[in-house]
Amino acid sequence: MAEKNITVYMVEDYPLTRTAYKKYFEYVKNIDLIGIFESAEECIEQMEVRQADVIIMDIGLPWMNGLEATRIIKGKYPKTKILVLTSHERYTEVHAALASGAAAYALKDITLEEVVNVIKSIYKGAGWFDPKILDIVLDIFPKPVSMDLDNLYIDKTKSSGLTDKEIKVLKLIAEGKSNIEIGKALGISPNTAKSHVAKVFEKLEVDDRVQAAVKAVKNDLF
């Protein structure tokens, strides 16, 4: 069975760019550029008639901008892949494009051959980011707070407000240890252990050891 051609729409307000892409894609195999639009509104209207597999989307467009168009199109047609092709390379625009559902973000100095490769890649389900904005993309993603594979993004200290030592005290409380036993385990005096226990109760907003232990288990604090 012959492989299905990838259908593509392009939204670009610069006439020379539209002409260059139209001529180039006449000779590209397995990709059909089935529509070129000056505005996002025209593309959205045509999507209701015929959906494209991939849309090449500029950001700086007349009337509706490409970020808003991306959000609308992905909301109505989630299977359509969007390649943002733009001269905009600020953090805010890259972040907004990815948050709106763009599968790829490329700057306009990318070659036409590279555009073809990106289209084929995102059509198959991959993502693609221009190397020039890769640092911005990486900065968007949250940093792990732990190297524990089960808790990479769970900052237990911040989520509970407890210090590392208070987490250890809480664990010993849950094990049923007395203040004397907590002191021995941590190498501190019973009075200091008692002070730590009181601080744990205060931060967890509980009144006794049982409540502290229950809250610790329920919130996976250790």
**What are the domain boundaries of the chain?**
6-140, 156-218
pLDDT in the model for residue 92: 83
26-78: per-residue pLDDT in tens?
A: 999 999 999 999 999 999 999 999 999 999 999 988 899 999 999 999 999 99
User: Which residues of the chain carry a pLDDT beneath 50?
Assistant: none
Q: What's the CA gap between 191 and 182, in Å, rounded?
A: 10
Q: Which one-letter DSSP state was computed for residue 132? A: G
Contact 73, 41 (CB under 8 A): no
CA-wise closest residue to 55 among 105, 7, 22, 127: 7
CB–CB of 110/130 below 8 Å? yes
* 202-to-46, 116, 161, 208, 221 alpha-carbon distances in Å: 61, 60, 10, 10, 15
Token pair of 155 as six digits: 């900052």
Instruction: State how far Cα 171 lies from the chain centre.
Output: 34
SS3 84: strand
Q: What is the pLDDT of residue 154?
A: 60
The Cα-based distances of 191 to 143, 173, 176, 182, 183 in angstroms read 38, 15, 17, 10, 8
What is the predicted pLDDT for the residue at 217?
Answer: 72
Query: What is the rounded CA–CA span in Å between residue 200 and residue 219?
Result: 14
Fold (CATH) for 156-218: Arc Repressor Mutant, subunit A (1.10.10)
Q: How far apart are the C-alpha atoms of 103 and 90, rounded to whole Å? A: 17
Q: Please, what CATH class does the domain formed by 6-140 belong to? A: alpha beta
